[in-house]
Amino acid sequence: MANVGLLYNLGKYDPPEDGEPPDANAELDGESTVMAIADALRWGGHEVFFIEGNEDAYEHLRHSGVDIVFNMCEGVRGESRESHIPAICEMLGIPYAGSKVLSLAVCLDKPAAKKVFAYHGIPTPKFKVFGPHDRVNASGLTFPLFVKPAHEGSSMGVSPNSLVRNMFELDQQVRYTTRFYKQEALVEEFIDGREFTVGILGNEDPHVFPIMEVTFRHCPPEHGNIYSRQYKADWDDMSYYPCPADISEEETELLKDTAVRAFHALECLDVGRVDFRMKDGIPYVLEINPLPGLAPGFSDLPRIANAGGMSYNELVNLILDHALVRYGMMDVRSNLALVQSRTAN
């Protein structure tokens, strides 16, 4: 068993500072999630060392003596913040679970990720990007459009106002997004179809979990079919998240195949979650999350794993197991079969 450095960023429930949007800390972790992951790793026989992923992380890691890092850091600041801890680990020669530096940076840069998808022929909504001083226009795009921050996750900046139907609304929402989130706004054609999310575990031949749908039939009409931060906070009953989704076998295989293609296109490792809208039989990739949330009973990936018959403790340890195998720290011959058997359908 390994000495595991658990790297995290606390502050999920801290109030935003003056001038920040109300969901400024949505991506950060709560203590209960950190402790749940630690307990899961101990359940797997590992010793856990807690290290906050802040400006002091380099020195703490340098002297920690850990064998491997379980990385769940969203980062402190900057457009490539999710790649900071992996970059430090690579500088120090410390193995870590999850995707590498470039993949994390590109995945958080939603426009860059969409360009990679387009190169690989993976369907993704048509889009444009606007900075705070750009002249906003919709040329080449068809309304309705969807506006969100270009470098955020956890549905930050996503609300019913994100869906815009004319130039006035588009201009207003772009100005709001660039002003409050201090970054470019991503403007996409809105795919008015069913929403799905697909969890992936592993590497060369990854396991794909049962597909989860995000349903909107119980939402208030004024909210609409938007997977917003409010949706995640207020509507957490499993009736909103059927898994496996009620779709055909053909649709299931198409979504799974496209998710794996997206996962490999961005060279993700060990674990990830791919979000889709499907319309007219086409699965459009909205984005990919190489650091999916792991809050027990709340985050999408633990819900999906549970629906697939995998416990929370097994999920956390399998993420680490795949990294250990990848670094040659587990006996591949004796243990890879165990890893694969845990993820078997």
Q: Token pair of 342, please? A: 């845990």
> Can you give the length of the chain in residues?
345
Architecture of the domain spanning 3-98:
3-Layer(aba) Sandwich (3.40)
Per the omega criterion (within 30 degrees of 0), is the bond before 144 cis?
yes
User: Is the pLDDT reported for residue 334 higher than 60?
Assistant: no
| Phi, psi dihedral angles at 274 (to 5 degrees) | -115, 130
pLDDT of the residue at 1 = 84
Q: Token pair of 159, please? A: 């609300």
Nearest to 94 by CA among 65, 74, 73, 121: 65
Nearest to 149 by CA among 46, 222, 229: 229
pTM (predicted TM-score): 0.90
Q: Break the chain into its structural domains and give their ranges.
A: 3-98, 126-189, 194-342
Give the integer Cα–Cα distance in Å for 100 and 269: 7
pLDDT-above-70 percentage for the chain:
90
CA angle (99, 103, 105) in 5-degree steps: 115
C-alpha distances out from residue 64 to 1, 5, 13, 58, Å: 17, 8, 28, 10
Give the integer Cα–Cα distance in Å for 187 and 127: 5
Give, as one character, the DSSP assignment of residue 78: S
CA angle (222, 199, 209) in 5-degree steps: 115
The number of C-alpha atoms within 13 Å of 275 and in the hemisphere containing its C-beta is 22
pLDDT of the residue at 342 = 56
Q: What is the pLDDT of residues 235-256, one digit of tens each?
A: 777 788 899 999 999 999 999 9
Class of residue 113 by CB neighbours under 10 A (exposed 0-12, middle 13-18, buried 19+):
buried
- The mean pLDDT of 297-309, rounded to a whole number, is 93
CATH of domain 194-342: 3.30.470.20
Spatial neighbors of 186 by CB under 8 A, at least 6 apart, are 110, 111, 127, 129, 147, 148, 149, 150
User: Is the pLDDT reported for residue 68 higher than 70?
Assistant: yes
- The mean pLDDT of 48-75, rounded to a whole number, is 93
- The mean pLDDT of 90-111, rounded to a whole number, is 96
pLDDT-above-90 percentage for the chain:
74
Q: Going by CATH, does the domain composed of 126-189 fall within 3.50.70.10?
A: no
Give the integer Cα–Cα distance in Å for 295 and 320: 17
